[in-house]
A and B are shown apart, each in its own frame.
Chain A
Amino acid sequence: GAGVSQSPSNKVTEKGKDVELRCDPISGHTALYWYRQRLGQGLEFLIYFQGNSAPDKSGLPSDRFSAERTGESVSTLTIQRTQQEDSAVYLCASSLAGLDRGLSSYNSPLHFGNGTRLTVT
């Protein structure tokens, strides 16, 4: 497929358990973003990867949240000891934007996956 792929599409977990959410970006996209969308709310930025490093982790809500990216490709968002307030749709996006690409990178749109709906019971 040519788009951003996320798995699983739905995840129900018990409070206190750990979960891993996966994102496969579009091949060749150097930038990868994780956003969270709570019910009835806008998108909340979590973390941004450029290649395999994360120059901006400012949106991670607590130290229970972590993410990594390998091979400048797949990214995993891990939530430890899940809480009910973690219930949301987690959206991944990728783009060609890059620190070395100058202003033109702003024109590179973000391509979003369909998200993982996480429900913590």
Chain B
Amino acid sequence: GEDVEQSLFLSVREGDSSVINCTYTDSSSTYLYWYKQEPGAGLQLLTYIFSNMDMKQDQRLTVLLNKKDKHLSLRIADTQTGDSAIYFCAEIRAGGTSYGKLTFGQGTILTVHP
């Protein structure tokens, strides 16, 4: 099947950079998203990148897209304890009847140690 895959766990020290990786299989993906989920809360959109871009930077967040390898990453600079959460990558696939329908990875649990 066509899946979005992420590593399940990442542990970093406060102040270090975090890099969360994601791979996807559908080359027709158009937009790719990163969502953050804090305990007991819904998903918060962090950032997104269009498939014809290689990189997008937004304050402490940098998204890198390697279309050839279908690899997406989210880098968080100067990681803080408040960044501890589950991070989901998601893609929208072109065509079909489900415009806007996202397919999610299983999420990466980021733990930030003081």
Contact = CB atoms under 8 A, between A and B. Distances in A.
Interface string B90-108: 1010001111111111110
Interface in B6-53: 30-31, 33, 35, 40-45, 48, 50
- Which DSSP category, helix, strand, loop or mixed, fits chain B's interface? strand
Contact of B99 (A91, A97, A111): A97
B100 A43 contact: no
Contacts of B33: 109
Chain B interface bracket (under 10, 10 to 19, 20 to 34, 35 or more)? 20 to 34
Interface of A: 4, 31, 33, 35, 41-43, 45, 48, 50, 55-56, 91, 93, 95, 97-99, 101, 103, 105-115
22 contacts: A31-B100, A41-B107, A43-B43, A43-B104, A45-B101, A45-B102, A48-B98, A55-B98, A56-B96, A56-B97, A93-B43, A97-B100, A99-B97, A103-B30, A106-B30, A106-B100, A109-B33, A110-B102, A112-B42, A114-B40, A114-B41, A114-B42
